[in-house]
Amino acid sequence: MPFEAELNPTNRWVVMSQTIPWDEFARAYQKNFKSRRGAPTIDARIVLGVVIIKHLLKLDDEGVIEMIQENPYMQYFLGLKSFTSKPVMDPSLLVHIRKRIDLSVFEKLTDELIREGLKINRQTQDDGDDEQGDDVDNTNDEVQMSNKGKLQIDATVADADIKFPTDLDLLNDSREKAEELIDYLCGELGVKQKPRTYRRNARKAYLNLSKKKRKTEKELRKGIRQQLGFVRRDIKIINQLLDKSQQIGVGGLFDKHQQKYFL
């Protein structure tokens, strides 16, 4: 059944799908492939949509594909005509896509999302409509406008480099970055079977604890200890992969953005 028969037209993913200049960004994305290995095999809108969702919701590669697989609104955002229970792509492809996409494309995209996000929420308030959420927890996914001109922007509209962190949040961020580096290194070194990182268990443990409004000190200590264990394991794997890169004579693996994680 086509999406339009069931989806709420005021849902944020439906509204954003109609405001983002997909054709413009698709052309910019496809330019990155002309001088390399030919045209991309996956539709540009799907690729860009996956990266946008990952960026806005702070998900890892596997997490974003799983969430899209379960969410019809996100699939509509990607331009699919009907719901599918199949993954829209293999998570490992995101590693190679990041290597081949000009980062300036997504800097431009972020600016566009800020402008369009403000416009969307302004129109929603003028119409007096409350956005109905999808399966994702979007309690704070709105831009609040007051008559005094005060403006609040949530990370789902514009990414923020500064946040008020907790130890648990910092460890989760570190773990996700470490997992991205592991995926990247495995791709660069041609590792067919990735080392086991238990990332799904780690993410589930983090979400279960972070969503609790009242955490006991014992629960928090246990959660931090768990995430530390996952991070230590990931760092050990990264070091093993780096040792392998030296053994086979592969150097210059990281760009400036990735190098900052080693500082």
* Element of type H or E holding 145: strand 144-145
Predicted model pTM: 0.44
The rounded average pLDDT for each run of 10 residues, N- to C-terminus, in the chain (263 residues) is 72 86 76 53 84 82 90 92 90 78 59 55 46 42 41 40 60 88 85 85 91 86 90 89 72 59 53
Q: With contact defined as beta carbons under 8 Å apart, do 40 and 29 qualify? A: yes
CA-to-CA separations, 139 to 129, 130, 144, 159, in angstroms, rounded: 15, 12, 12, 17
Q: What secondary structure does DSSP assign to 195-239, as a single string?
A: PP--HHHHHHHHHHHHT-SS--HHHHHHHHHHHHHHHHHHHHHHH
Quote the pLDDT of residue 239. 86
Q: With contact defined as beta carbons under 8 Å apart, do 50 and 68 qualify? A: yes
Quote the pLDDT of residue 162. 40
Angstrom distance (rounded) from CA 179 to CA 253: 16
Quote the pLDDT of residue 133. 42
